[in-house]
Copies of this chain bind each other. A is one copy, B any other.
């Protein structure tokens, strides 16, 4: 089993394609890195780059991406729907094969330390890499966003970073680095302009408000399309499947008198997570992945 770690940095740029391309290029040019996906979202003004490699290559590529983001993104002029604290906002490492979660925590620590020292950016460790319980959840670490954290980091001892200066980088802000299980980023778009519908549905399904385990959800407006969005992070699709979440949103939307227009997977998804939809649609019995022709030819 080869050593594969996935890295899914979120950068605060989703509109200027040349900036996203430059960041992606700085990552992809590290030997041993395979760039898997780049997603830009102009409403969120955010991009998600997915790449894989062994731990040494991924550590270097993550640092190069951070360095490139510091040079190209100014948080003082950044506006977007998605909460954020820095140019390289979130940097998660995900064990895929030949790596444990502990290996990814160690990777997050060493890359986080290097970003703090060489780029002079305060770094917070989150999820499996968190050093305190109140830093496990990303929304807690991101509280106040770039604008709010600017003051809090210097005045509130609880907001002191794990590495680097207790002061935001003037243009690149802060950076949140961690290790987590494979996450599916998934948006369900609803045929209404009423943001409250998306917010009510997000609240009803997310774990933090008593909904489904391992589901994070927020409501967003897609102003340019006249839609609203339930934006989800499925943090463990074996606990709550995409089918369960979709069916729940469908029911709630119907009660609101609203239709689901479409859904969209951002970045990567494991085969069995997405196939569950086909199994449901076709009422498939006794189906196994080895029946998919490509899985046989690719082996």
Contact = CB atoms under 8 A, between A and B. Distances in A.
A281 B284 contact: no
The prevalent SS among residues of A at the interface is mixed
Total identical chains: 2
User: Which of the four size classes fits the interface of chain A?
Assistant: 35 or more
A291 B268 contact: yes
A242 interface: yes
A276 interface: yes
Given A274-B275, A290-B37, A292-B271, A262 B284 contact: yes
Interface string A238-281: 00001100100000000000001111110111110011111111
A263 B284 contact: yes
Nearest to A299: B298
Given A278-B278, A296-B52, A269 B291 contact: yes
B243 A281 contact: yes
A184 B252 CA distance: 36
Interface of A: 4, 6, 34, 36-37, 52, 96-97, 182, 189, 242-243, 246, 260-265, 267-271, 274-287, 290-299
